[in-house]
Structure 1
Amino acid sequence: MTRVAKDTNWVAMSVSMTELGVYLDWIKDLSSTAYDIPYLFALPSGTDLNKLTDSLNKVFRAHRNLLSHFRANADGTISRLVPNCDSSEIAVDISYDDGEPDLNRLVKPFSDSEGDLYRIHIIRSAAKSYLFIQMHHLVFDGASAMVFIRDLNRAYAGGSLEEESVTAGMFAEKESESRKSEAFFAAQRWYDDLLSGVDSSSEPYHDKECGERRAAYESISLDMDSNRLRDVARKLGIKTSTFFTCVFGYVLSRFSGSKEALFASICAGRFPEVANDIGLFVKTFPVLERFDGNERISDHIRKTDEQIACHRKNGLFSFADACSKYNLSIPAMFAYQGENESEVDFLGGKTALKYILPDNPRNDLLGEALSCNGEYVFRLSYRTDLYEKGTAESFTQCYRKIAHEFMSKLDGGFSDVDMASESQRRLLDAFLPKSEAQSGPNDIITLFRQQAQKHPDAVALIIGDVKRTYAEVDCLSDRIAGYLIGKGIGRGSTVSILIHRNEYMVIASLGALKSGAGYQPLDPSYPPERLLFMVQDAKASMVIADEDLTPLISGYKGQFLLTKDIPSLPPSDKSFSIPAICGDDVFTLLYTSGSTGVPKGVVLEHGNLANFCRHYQKEFGMGVGTVNAAYASYGFDANMMDMYPALTCGGTVCVVPEEIRLDFQAMGEYYEKNNVAVSFLTTQVGRQFATSPFRPSCLKHLMVGGEKLVPLAPPEGLDFRNIYGPTECTIFVTCKAVDKEYLRIPIGKSFAGAALYVVDECGRRVPPCVPGELWIAGRCVGRGYLNRPEQNEKSFAKNPFSKEAGYERVYRTGDVVRILPNGEIDFLGRNDGQVKVRGFRIELSEVEGVIREYPGIKDACVHAWDMGEAGKMIAAYVVSDDKVDAKAIRSFILERKPPYMVPASIAQLDSIPLNQNGKVNRRMLPKPSSASVSQGSDIAAKREDNVLEAELKRAISEITGSGDVPYDVPLEYAGLTSIGMIRLSAFLYNKFGISLGSKELKGKGLLELENEVLKAWMECGVQPLAADGARAKADVFEPYPLSAAQLGIYMECMKEPESTSYNIPVVLEFVKETDAEKLAQAVAAVI
């Protein structure tokens, strides 16, 4: 501790707003050195250590603020305590060490919040001696270091030092008074204009959120002509620091995937009265930059310089004020450090000024521009628990590139700025697939026929208990082809197929393809209006259908072939001419959601599928006898992955029956029975199945896709893949084996020879870790949209990056991604109004449009919410003068759209919240809860929950992410998705031993669910848990129904589970000689 006279009076003084902010952040973690400023000076040879000690004492006496202590008062205020005594009574605490300086030992936190905030060591080694100083930021800043060195030199040379006339405490008192003046309120109004309506601060996407919070550093020389930069600054009338600040803002905005940047910066300049003081006088302020592609770079830099000048002028409104008032959390900071001298005059000689970079970060990201020996350097500090080294390296490289771009394009706009350096372009090129020669047939029918000829008796198809060999499938599909050809259907025609999940998913599809036509799979769950539109849009020449489904397209006036008639079609006698199929012939027509509300038909060709099948078979080791599950809906593009890779290599397609698709136990048994080795499931279902106890041992490869995969630990004993791909590019184009837990599981590297480009809004490739739109090229890219020339022009384009055969066109996905330094793709979201729910792409504007047609709706918006493990759900928000009927609105939507487009939550608001720009402020939308769809039941107000209800509500709340569970509203309307149903079913089984599948749960509210549980107990009792937590097998514990008396007592116990009213304790006394072991055996035998 600082040594002062025992009777010294410590004077309490105010703290500045900057000091208050630092203090409050520091005391959150007193074990951190984030706010410490350590320096190590090598002392010139011959330094008199006693004289140095005296000189240090003189510096501290002249700058008494260094001795400050800070105290939290009982009223919640913070005070600075400064010793009020004669300078001669002050002695600084200095440690003397022998040996080489050990920085790990020297740099340690100031853990006493009311103690000294400095540390000094004089270190004597055999070769030379050192001075180590460590100051807390509360009493020291960057400019203070120069004052400290100057005054230490002056004292060592025998000069006198004057005490500060205006101390940090006085300066804080003055600031406190000024904050009551009109100047403060004027500053507040200026900040209102600047920051009101700002949605969020800027930060690059986190790579991870794990590990110890430590700081790491990346530095890069900017290779800039300092004289030219000074000339530019003079010409523009700006400070040099502003140029570097703008560069940081631009790079930060791009790494954040935004056109604006909000970050903190500092003003190191001081008021004249404290220019020679030591203390915390640096000012922190928020910088807001918006980058318009057409704005001239020079104009933007001038505008930013004016903003920074206004920050200085309005400094009474502090950084803490701004963060509090506008609800800002600003994790990124930039500081221009100016000239960073490597050597300084010190104690009569020269010495290296070694600033020790802290291990504990103050900011998530801190960029610093400094000049070292006339050369500009950019240094980036980053948190290692949030960012990988590769991200920091890419950021620093981009900073250098943008600095040069700004210098050379001052009179141009931001749209002229190219971020990627030559070395980064070379790295991106290395991630592109290598050229490979195409060999063998390029159509699915030839590939299938080859397998049918080689392996006629091999099983091609399984559904339920039905099995079909290749010969049988080939024969039946030939009959269909012959019939179609006889009706004049062939190349250029489309055959629509409207069937249930049955064997004709495979057989009818192949039959249509063999005729030379393309086929259009239709999902019978779609509304009739949509199905009819799709058939008419495709100009279907024929519809192959299950008879009971034909009313769904009653407006269709063309030909039908009913599946019931297919077995009676004449056998193929090869009298008809089977056309030769080419790679560029139409294979299928699949419909996706359209931005205008009208579905778009995607045309894929045989060559697209043949290319995909070859890569798929190689990736998963498929061959004769490999069983591939067919889980996906027939109208979903993944259904092609389920069928054709197996059918073109001698494998088996195992169709999962509709009735077990959400029953994991039954599905696991079905997979095991049929030895399924490869399977695809939609993301949320697949994630649950991968970790389910019912996952079969035969399953070797499991792929999931369709929406973002919620992070999980890699399932043991399973090759678990996260896949991605738009329908327009043939099923999937990236693939990632889940090998560890991730913050966001990447979608992986290129698959099936796809070339992946991540581009900015001008179509230029962006560097690694910078978000951009994903463009795809290669043999996977389909022909385009049927009858949509304008949409084709928008979504498909000539490839500007390659002229290689097969890569001439790119598809613009509209998906925002980053390419990681290892070449994997990190999926971030969409750049338009589309989302994916349970694998289906949905245009939110399409759903919103239907809601707006509902009578009485004045305004509406639709938002997709990520509900964690429950998956993604759509929520609708409506404005109406009358109370809305959520159930009626859902029915209205269901008449016009498929079930997956019906919002799980509908909330009525007084108005749709808008931001300053008149756009929907989605941050202000209430997160869905069951209350938002409640039908007005007042049951909850009438009585308290019983124990069973409370347990069920707790489980449902955890699954839906909502704390509000209605009593009489169907649980799926309260946010319980189909995935949630599966989780609830698993909970009921694990907790109560009751097997209720998703079908039994659907449409039930909490009260009905309670009845189902009680009913199950009455009928078969509860299976108790075994010692390992699993349900005991039936051969050990037999379920029996409860008697009426038992059920009555059980229900009474449920009301008060803590009560011992129904317990029957008995104590028996035995003589001392009783054999305890035999007694225990006897009791066990009785039980």
Structure 2
Amino acid sequence: PTLPFGLAQVQHDGSDVSESHRMLPPALNDRLRAHAKRLGVSLASLCHLAWAQVLARASGQQRVVFGTVLFGRMQAGEGADRAMGLFINTLPLRLELDGSVQACVRSTQARLAALLEHEHASLALAQRCSGVPAGTPLFSALLNYRHNAMGSNERSGLPGVELLSAQERTNYPLTLSVEDFGQSLGLTAQSVPSLEPERVCAYMQQALHSLADALEATPEIPVQQLQVLPEAERQLLLNTWNAAQQAYPSHVCVHQLFEAQVERTPEAPALVFEDQTFSYAQLNAQANRLAHQLIELGVKPDTLVAICVQRSPAMVVGLLAILKAGGAYVPLDPAYPSERLVHILADAAPAIVLADAAGRAALGDAALAECTVLDPVTVPALPDTNPSVVELTARHLAYVIYTSGSTGTPKGVMVEHAQVVRLFEATQPWYGFNEHDTWCLFHSFAFDFSVWELWGALRYGGKLVIVPHSIARSADAFYQLICEQGVTVLNQTPSAFKALMASQAHRALSDQLRYVILGGEALEPTSLQAWYATHDERHPQLINMYGITEATVHVTYRPLRQQDSEQAGSPVGTRIPDLTIYLLDAHGQPVPLGAVGELSIGGAGVARGYLNRPALTAERFVPDPFSDDAGARLYKTGDLARYLPDGNLEFVGRNDDQVKIRGFRIEPGEIEACLTAHPQVRDAVVLATGEGSAKRLVAYVQAEADAHLASTLRAQVAASLPEYMVPSAFVRLDAWPLTPNGKLDRRALPAPDDAALAHQAYEAPQGELETTLATIWAELLGVERVGRHDSFFALGGHSLLAVQLMERLRRRGLSVSVRLLFEAPTLSALAQTLGQRRDVVVPANAITPDTSAITPSMLPLIELTQADIDKIVEQVPGGVANIQDIYALSPLQDGLLFHHLLASDGDPYLLLVQLAFDSRERLDQ
């Protein structure tokens, strides 16, 4: 269905619809009539084509369907023109806007003529023939082209009858009536409150104007090139909301800002890791010694230097040293699979690699054979003065960070110093970061969120706390670190913050916390309701920032309010001042206000491009057609958004298959390529299912039947790709389900069953603890059964589900940390660990089958006198022999009982529904 502006509800009564009317300029009316006469088509055909153009721009579709009102008397037989009654009918009209202007005019005329033959067909029949499910509307927009003998201002009625008022109502959310008065044309638009009807009239008038111009001068141009936006709205979207702001420094390098801070506060703490603390002067000196060594080895501007180091002070020293030497760092996280790291190393081809012991082990000797390898843990005895690289400018590269690639290989995004520096300068008026702030380096330094964390702290003289890998995986431990270190600026993906919220639900976060900056994936505002129930909306201030690596981390800024948590959309706010944002359709034209379009980003934050990928760079980094600046470019993000009436943006999703899970950008194509590399797999498709923290990857493969296929493929992917890219389930199919057009029907792919999970050979859980764990795992992971050798992560578990598991175990008196689950991921191993750590002993029930009398000492969960107990026993059929235990109702049960007793008519907890079927056949179906 075509749903312009996302309007889909066609069942309302029309009471909230507003209306606007305008007459078209006489000159435009005359031109349209002349073109219709010249081409031998009806004026109605031109109006239907123009309306189709409006709906196409408002829905993002090239093939549009909308309702058209038919007179009903053309095919009604002799005398129909004199018969009384309502003959009009509404039927769907489908138009394909893929040809030239003149060709689309003729095809529209033909479609309307063909539809007249069915003017008495019911809309229900059209719905059944369309293949569209019964609950889905065929269309949500309507065009009513009607002839009216009266002039636009003639409202004379019958003699003696006075017209007091008239109102036209429609159950459709968007309706346009074209009034043909013979010598003039009028437009009447009706729309729901979210869309002003005056705007609808303006779109239609502009579409008709563009159509008339094209028919006169360029009838062979593609119809999609016609303008629909009135000039005033076009200026608003392209210029007013993208007005140039002040310029920010473009001549300073990232490390030079750090060096300036060293001069201001040399003894202030710059870096904290576990029990180590480095002052700004100490950190600078360490980095300088290593930088001088890199310069001696030939590092110069735009030289790539890879760094593969665990989270530690040496990591920060290495990054600073690379920048100070004039080079650009390529971060390689040792926690990532070696195959991925080796591929990135080969693609970037750095001559020098900084690697500690973990980094060397992850990369392997073969990959490092052609490189000069330095260990940043041990810095050389060289001068600790700031090196001077005369030829270095802010237009040289600062880093290359690799993101997931659709072709099966990751791609390196090249970002310059100037683009990083302006990010902080442009956002500083909003935040006011200072030397009293404490930041966390929570994310992997191979994830671009770390750019914001790392250089944000050191740029403004704050303290940077490096979060150890084990603590980053445990929400409880991370919460403790936040409080101990007095963190004031916290950066989180929404998924990670959700886990943190759960861990501190009954505890207060540090009073010093000023900002929680959310980014990296789409935010579900409703997930923040629990937060706002216990926290002030400004202390700390939650901020949502949409961003993308190719536009230097962050793009927009939105301070969140409690009312946002009650909305369904994902608000991302307004652009960073030195960027431009356009929402464009598939043809590069701005979409109407409120319609969904692809986010295209321009301005000072746009990256240089992709390393060694000129064709992909040219495809995604395109010339900016709306800018007067020489060389201005746009980055086509592939993300979809809409403008809200106040100029703020709302994130909608992706226009391709790329997904974000737990903050990580993932190209399913990369996983598919890994799967198809296995000899058993003929073809593969990877989809993301679920929403929010429940989102997971499911792999569908064409392969021969194999009982161990899921386990085999999981091992294949895990050996090559990071943990967050490993599918939770592997579904084997003999062939793909196809659409009538022969394309893969993704909606017909089956949901994964228990066989799709990487089970081990089944062995039933043993003992009470394993049985309890198996039950919890099955509920949490949505699987039928869990064997004692199954792995929590192989069955689809991940770090966020691990937090939920810990909470459920605590309720049962079992103390365990997330780290232990990673160390003992199988059911039997975890049970053994828990058995050694169990610190709650459940007393045996004092009431046994042989008990003849119950006394207060047998009931530890409730305080009752002997008289109370005897009274209860008397009311239970069978007496003591039929009583297993006695305990108080929970508050919820108490409430249920109260409402049950209170209700005099019926029971509020029983819902009675009566259904009627018109035939036995329908009932059997």
Please classify the TM superposition score into its range, dividing by the shorter chain length: 0.7 to 0.9
Change in Cα spacing, 1:605 to 1:777, as seen in structure 2 (3 Å) is same
Note if contact 1:591-1:599 (Cα within 8 Å) is conserved in structure 2: yes
**How far apart, in 2, do the equivalents of 1:588 and 1:482 lie?**
19
Q: CA deviation at 1:611?
A: 0.7
Which deviates more, 716-725 or 727-736? 716-725
Alignment map for 1:1047-1062 (pairs within 5 Å): none
What TM-score does the superposition give when structure 1 sets the normalisation length?
A: 0.69
Match of 2:144 in 1: 336
Change in Cα spacing, 1:338 to 1:630, as seen in structure 2 (3 Å) is same
Change in Cα spacing, 1:792 to 1:236, as seen in structure 2 (3 Å) is same
Alignment map for 1:854-1003 (pairs within 5 Å): 854-865=678-689, 867-883=690-706, 885-928=709-752, 932-933=756-757, 935=759, 952=776, 956=780, 970-989=791-810, 991-992=811-812, 994-1001=814-821
Identity %: 27
**How far apart, in 1, do the equivalents of 2:45 and 2:482 lie?**
64
**How far apart, in 1, do the equivalents of 2:863 and 2:667 lie?**
63
Note if contact 1:498-1:521 (Cα within 8 Å) is conserved in structure 2: yes
Change in Cα spacing, 1:881 to 1:928, as seen in structure 2 (3 Å) is closer
Q: CA deviation at 1:1003?
A: 9.2
| Structure 1 spans left out of the alignment, 5+ residues | 1-199, 1022-1040, 1051-1059, 1071-1083
Match of 1:94 in 2: none
Change in Cα spacing, 1:923 to 1:282, as seen in structure 2 (3 Å) is farther
Change in Cα spacing, 1:380 to 1:576, as seen in structure 2 (3 Å) is closer
Secondary structure class of the residue paired with 2:67: strand
Aligned match of 1:702 in 516, 520, 527?
516
Aligned match of 1:462 in 267, 272, 297?
272
Q: CA deviation at 1:1000?
A: 4.1
**How far apart, in 2, do the equivalents of 1:457 and 1:610 lie?**
24
Deviations 1:19-76 (A, max 9, x none): xxxxxxxxxxxxxxxxxxxxxxxxxxxxxxxxxxxxxxxxxxxxxxxxxxxxxxxxxx
Amino acid at match of 1:413: P
Which deviates more, 399-408 or 979-988? 979-988
Q: CA deviation at 1:842?
A: 2.1
Match of 1:52 in 2: none
Secondary structure class of the residue paired with 2:224: helix
Deviations 1:149-197 (A, max 9, x none): xxxxxxxxxxxxxxxxxxxxxxxxxxxxxxxxxxxxxxxxxxxxxxxxx
**How far apart, in 1, do the equivalents of 2:825 and 2:88 lie?**
60
Q: CA deviation at 1:947?
A: 11
| Structure 2 spans left out of the alignment, 5+ residues | 850-858, 870-887, 889-925
Match of 2:204 in 1: 399
Match of 1:674 in 2: 485
In the alignment, structure 1 residue 471 sits paired with structure 2 residue 281: yes
Secondary structure class of the residue paired with 2:550: helix
Amino acid at match of 1:640: V
Amino acid at match of 1:898: P
Change in Cα spacing, 1:283 to 1:207, as seen in structure 2 (3 Å) is closer
**For the pair shown, which has the larger CA radius of gyration, 1 or 2?**
1
**How far apart, in 1, do the equivalents of 2:50 and 2:294 lie?**
65
Amino acid at match of 1:322: A
Secondary structure class of the residue paired with 2:569: coil
**How far apart, in 1, do the equivalents of 2:553 and 2:761 lie?**
45
Match of 2:94 in 1: 288
Alignment map for 1:52-71 (pairs within 5 Å): none
Note if contact 2:247-2:578 (Cα within 8 Å) is conserved in structure 1: no
Match of 1:368 in 2: 177
**How far apart, in 2, do the equivalents of 1:500 and 1:312 lie?**
72
**How far apart, in 2, do the equivalents of 1:466 and 1:208 lie?**
60
Note if contact 2:714-2:758 (Cα within 8 Å) is conserved in structure 1: no
Amino acid at match of 2:176: G
Match of 1:788 in 2: 613
Which deviates more, 363-372 or 698-707? 363-372
Aligned match of 1:309 in 113, 119, 124?
113
**How far apart, in 2, do the equivalents of 1:1049 and 1:634 lie?**
61
Q: CA deviation at 1:985?
A: 3.3
Amino acid at match of 1:562: D
**How far apart, in 1, do the equivalents of 2:553 and 2:13 lie?**
40
**How far apart, in 2, do the equivalents of 1:627 and 1:895 lie?**
37
Note if contact 1:219-1:377 (Cα within 8 Å) is conserved in structure 2: no
Alignment map for 1:230-245 (pairs within 5 Å): 230-245=33-48
Q: CA deviation at 1:454?
A: 1.0
Note if contact 1:756-1:775 (Cα within 8 Å) is conserved in structure 2: yes
Match of 1:503 in 2: 313
In the alignment, structure 1 residue 627 sits paired with structure 2 residue 427: no
Match of 1:132 in 2: none
Note if contact 2:770-2:828 (Cα within 8 Å) is conserved in structure 1: no
Note if contact 1:723-1:736 (Cα within 8 Å) is conserved in structure 2: yes
In the alignment, structure 1 residue 753 sits paired with structure 2 residue 578: yes
**How far apart, in 2, do the equivalents of 1:637 and 1:751 lie?**
17
**How far apart, in 2, do the equivalents of 1:577 and 1:953 lie?**
58
In the alignment, structure 1 residue 319 sits paired with structure 2 residue 123: yes
In the alignment, structure 1 residue 564 sits paired with structure 2 residue 377: yes
Which deviates more, 273-282 or 602-611? 273-282
Note if contact 2:287-2:318 (Cα within 8 Å) is conserved in structure 1: yes
Match of 1:102 in 2: none
Amino acid at match of 2:682: K
Change in Cα spacing, 1:523 to 1:946, as seen in structure 2 (3 Å) is closer
Match of 1:737 in 2: 559
Change in Cα spacing, 1:374 to 1:646, as seen in structure 2 (3 Å) is farther
Deviations 1:4-33 (A, max 9, x none): xxxxxxxxxxxxxxxxxxxxxxxxxxxxxx
Amino acid at match of 1:284: T
Match of 1:641 in 2: 452
Q: CA deviation at 1:911?
A: 2.3
Deviations 1:1011-1044 (A, max 9, x none): 589849x8222xxxxxxxxxxxxxxxxxxx335x
In the alignment, structure 1 residue 427 sits paired with structure 2 residue 236: yes
CA RMSD of aligned residues (A): 3.9
**How far apart, in 1, do the equivalents of 2:386 and 2:3 lie?**
69
Secondary structure class of the residue paired with 1:725: coil
**How far apart, in 2, do the equivalents of 1:933 and 1:575 lie?**
55
Amino acid at match of 1:432: N
Which deviates more, 601-610 or 904-913? 904-913
In the alignment, structure 1 residue 487 sits paired with structure 2 residue 297: yes
**How far apart, in 2, do the equivalents of 1:948 and 1:241 lie?**
70
Secondary structure class of the residue paired with 2:278: strand
Note if contact 1:758-1:775 (Cα within 8 Å) is conserved in structure 2: yes
Change in Cα spacing, 1:602 to 1:1009, as seen in structure 2 (3 Å) is same
Deviations 1:354-408 (A, max 9, x none): 43244xx623433333347965344443444xxx246x65544323222222222
Amino acid at match of 2:326: G
Q: CA deviation at 1:542?
A: 1.4
**How far apart, in 1, do the equivalents of 2:571 and 2:110 lie?**
42
Deviations 1:122-162 (A, max 9, x none): xxxxxxxxxxxxxxxxxxxxxxxxxxxxxxxxxxxxxxxxx
Which deviates more, 764-773 or 200-209? 200-209
Deviations 1:189-239 (A, max 9, x none): xxxxxxxxxxx4434336999999953224253625434433433444444
Note if contact 2:814-2:834 (Cα within 8 Å) is conserved in structure 1: no
Change in Cα spacing, 1:816 to 1:897, as seen in structure 2 (3 Å) is same
**How far apart, in 2, do the equivalents of 1:315 and 1:1007 lie?**
66
Match of 1:606 in 2: 417
**How far apart, in 2, do the equivalents of 1:678 and 1:702 lie?**
6
Which deviates more, 997-1006 or 437-446? 997-1006
Change in Cα spacing, 1:936 to 1:433, as seen in structure 2 (3 Å) is same
Deviations 1:444-495 (A, max 9, x none): 1211111111101111112223221101111111111122122232323221
In the alignment, structure 1 residue 769 sits paired with structure 2 residue 594: yes
Amino acid at match of 1:442: V
Match of 2:643 in 1: 819
Which deviates more, 471-480 or 369-378? 369-378
Q: CA deviation at 1:832?
A: 3.3
